[in-house]
Structure 1
């Protein structure tokens, strides 16, 4: 998957980090309301995150790939499952599992990418 999409997946697993990004103008400029966060980074990549109950909806535009993408995530206790689709036809699925202050993440895409990574609230990803 492309770098902007990977960063967005990281944002999902640590939505609190999105608040930090909103306060760091060198990373991205963000606008926030009660349940919507919209950001644009210095390269022109843009994304928005909206929440409705335990479901999160993300949409964005990736400059390097010149493509639009959308992702939906649903939370069930400590597990969050997500699926996404890009305008070039790439699709992806994955999950995040919280264990204390650590998040275990796995994803796979139709473009051949797959991986796993661990994030901590103390040390990052």
Structure 2
């Protein structure tokens, strides 16, 4: 009886796990070299990340908006500044500052968006 109960519980657990796995969205497919990462996701969005010293260059294509974009991040110790521009003319600037396990974030864009928020490794954003 105990064996049958264990097998039943294991079967139910397996079915729940398979069902949960089926609901996970597809991950991006990526190719990597020494300092370049290029990815495409299931929705047709594409991006690349290139690292040169303390500078990170991001480039991408947003399928929904049919726009290309580029962003440059420059890191100085615990402070990272970023600037970006998109093919539709939108531009943005901002920074991230790490303080222990907390990150202070601020950005604004020419499209009228702006935000100031804090993220923690424990509680999230």
Partner of 1:48: 48
Deviation at 1:123, TM superposition (A): 4.3
* Equivalent position of 1:121 in the other structure: 121
Q: 1:122 and 1:27 mapped to 2: Cα distance?
A: 24
Structure 2 equivalent of residue 11 of structure 1:
none
TM-score computed with the length of structure 1 as normaliser: 0.74
- Measured on the aligned residues, the alpha-carbon RMSD in Å equals 1.7
For 2:78, the equivalent position in structure 1 comes to 78
- Structure 1, unaligned runs of 5 or more: 1-23
Superposed displacement of residue 25, structure 1: 7.8
Distance 1:88 1:78 in 2: 32
Q: Structure 1, residues 32-77: CA drift from partner, whole Å, max 9, x if none?
A: 2221111111111111010100001000000111000000110111
Output aligned runs, 1:29-40, within 5 Å.
29-40=29-40
Q: After TM superposition, list the pairs within 5 Å mapping 1:1-125 onto structure 2.
A: 26-125=26-125
Normalising by structure 2, we get a TM-score of 0.74
Cα distance per residue 1:68-106 (max 9 Å; x no partner):
000011011110000000000000000000111221111
Q: How many residues align?
A: 102
The structure number with the bigger radius of gyration is 2
Distance 1:25 1:40, change over 3 A: farther
- Structure 2 unmatched runs, 5+: 1-23
Which whole-Å CA distance do the structure 2 matches of 1:108 and 1:45 have between them?
23
